[in-house]
Chains A and B, each alone.
Chain A
């Protein structure tokens, strides 16, 4: 009897509580856009780090002086206009009326100068711009000049840089923070305000509409044009499980998934209420980075053999499946479909020509030295490539060892310049958003400075540096293109890195969500939640 009574009591309690639970939907009139981003936001300073999540955070709360549109033309953003002197050495920028920081103080020319200086200490393009800059001077509260030491062809492209590190404008008091330290506050002049109380690292970041923001009148295009916010709040929710994100989107609990993995796309495709769109039309490049300091990749002939052994198509199919909507083979260092998207010098390479690779490897003097490839197994977008590359290399005659590790171990280890036996490495593979690679100054992968400021792998080539420098100085677009052709040819003969193909991530959202913008970063202005 006692068991029965307990059981009946439990059933009655459950029956009574069920309607209350089912009926407990939130009744809020506030329009909140709930978004699952590709990762969680951890570092709030988009100048201190190049992490894409910090860049995305930057686009929410900060604004930029200039911005690139979808045709890759630089447009004024916070600037009303700019003028260039006849000798091409003095750029005068004038700010728009009504620009305010989130703390209610006006944006001034001094703020912009301090912001550019801080960014110029951290970003590759920024550092180059600063090398050519003689001085920056505020003319009044709304205008300032940037005076060059000598002609420089990338002033506007640098200040309108669309991806990490994007030159966001911040108040002078924050811009005076050393770039190795995080800014103590999150005060911008952008279309959203940071909700400090809502931030839970690894879980959630909250942004409220900046009601004082004065959008431009032009239509939005990438990060340029009118940033009109049509929701009250945006919440970035971190979901470590992609399947949960899919279920939550289908169930209407969230509104946008930035980058679901391709193996889950059929689930989204099956739901007619959802729209799948490639918002970053430039896509991203997979990059194989050899370590040039140690054998065997200190031998250019071995590197050339490698460029024949690996097949871009195999790598791309292994990553996103054999669906050409989501990838393209492309041997441009500067992203196919862009102004400098040349593939000069890559003829016959990256197609998995094992026979040629074998012959070249035999002729290179390769002595069977072990090649250690670091294999990050915890990041879905990076874990598929190393085994495919390793297999092709083995077929060509390389002695390959794949070493499994988590991405953060790889990030720590790749900074080591020691030989492999002392904890070093020979190769790793990573991905870059296309916008980070679109010209020879922005593209760190072809930086030929070696140990003196080059990127991990320490490719050293004085001729490459000379060409990159010439490109930066050149102001004639036709001549710039000719230099890029030379750079591409030099790259494919010395192999600073090997592009493994271009892939296109899909964003998924309900069809009732209107105004989702394209761009190299996700933007959340212009988006409207409608009923149908």
Chain B
């Protein structure tokens, strides 16, 4: 196991290297000039050239690349060329809201979706099953921003129970922190509930046809025990996989939800940086995303060994 983990951790190095090269080249091929953005609308070409020279953007691409890689190897993600603030500081400012939203969303989604999927499989073909599947289809189909506006209109504007927007760090108290996460969590989790519930249902249906389930029922076990202990555990591998993918997607940014609820997450940072052609920020954020993806995948792989003892690395 330790050898497997070590191999996987070491494998992140070439992955990060490839990501670094691809993202660097991709950004340089994208039209747009950060110097022109900094200079403003009425700047002349000479003024833009001066800024370009200061930023080193007039240097050959390979020099820019090696200079970035050299700093990266020393743990320095660089400085935003637009706001002149270290990229690591900017990412740190955005990490907490992203992790908070990802955590609440995935926890809520799992707590709702897994029982829904189990019930739908257990009651296959009944009205309950169809009702849950209709909910899942709607969950996939209704755009996130529509869902967000509906929650805001109902809960914040009409009932005035919760704030419309914003984020408060957990350091400011759990109440203000949590109340601003409720609506984004409800909004965002719908799609994940739909996804996880469908996978759970499909996976459970497969297991419920197995001989050992029939045997468990024949032994006289309660239906709850059959479903949760015998069926769900064996159906867990694909469910955990989809949850892991969900976590990775949530961490890498949910721009629409962040925009609708004005959450200062990594998704908005990425979009803002792309629109402003803030190369060091985009590069830094993508590298962090790649690293987190690798970690999440590793965690998923390791969880398989706990859920299914037959799996060994």
Interface residues of A (CB under 8 A from B): 1-3, 6, 10, 17, 20-24, 26, 40, 42-44, 48-51, 54, 122, 124, 164, 178-182, 199-204, 237, 239-241, 243-244, 247-248, 250-251, 253, 378, 405-409, 411-413, 415, 430, 432, 436, 444, 453-456
Contact = CB atoms under 8 A, between A and B. Distances in A.
B31 A405 contact: yes
Nearest to B159: A22
B69 interface: no
B10 interface: no
Contacts of B161: 22
A247 B164 contact: yes
**Central interface residue in A199, A248, A407, by most chain B CB within 10 Å:** A248
Given A20-B175, A180-B53, A201-B85, 6 more contacts: A42-B83, A44-B83, A247-B152, A247-B164, A248-B165, A407-B275
Contact of A408 (B37, B45, B163): B37
A453 B38 contact: no
Interface of B: 30-33, 36-48, 50-51, 53-54, 80, 82-85, 90, 93, 111, 115, 149, 152-153, 156-157, 160-166, 173, 175-176, 178-179, 182, 224, 228, 259-262, 264, 268-269, 272, 275-277
B40 A24 contact: no
B90 A201 contact: yes
B32 A411 contact: yes
B83 A10 contact: no
B40 A253 contact: no
A407 B165 CA distance: 27
B41 A244 contact: no
28 contacts: A1-B224, A3-B224, A21-B178, A21-B182, A43-B82, A43-B83, A44-B84, A48-B51, A51-B40, A178-B50, A182-B84, A201-B80, A201-B90, A202-B272, A203-B93, A240-B262, A241-B259, A243-B149, A244-B152, A247-B164, A248-B164, A248-B165, A253-B164, A406-B275, A408-B277, A411-B41, A415-B36, A415-B48
A408 B262 contact: no
The main secondary structure of chain B at its interface with chain A is: helix
Nearest to A430: B41
A222 to B, nearest CB: 20
Nearest to A3: B115
B179 A21 contact: yes
A26 B46 CA distance: 50
A244 B115 contact: no
A432 B153 CA distance: 36
Contacts of B178: 17, 21
B299 to A, nearest CB: 25
Contacts of B261: 244
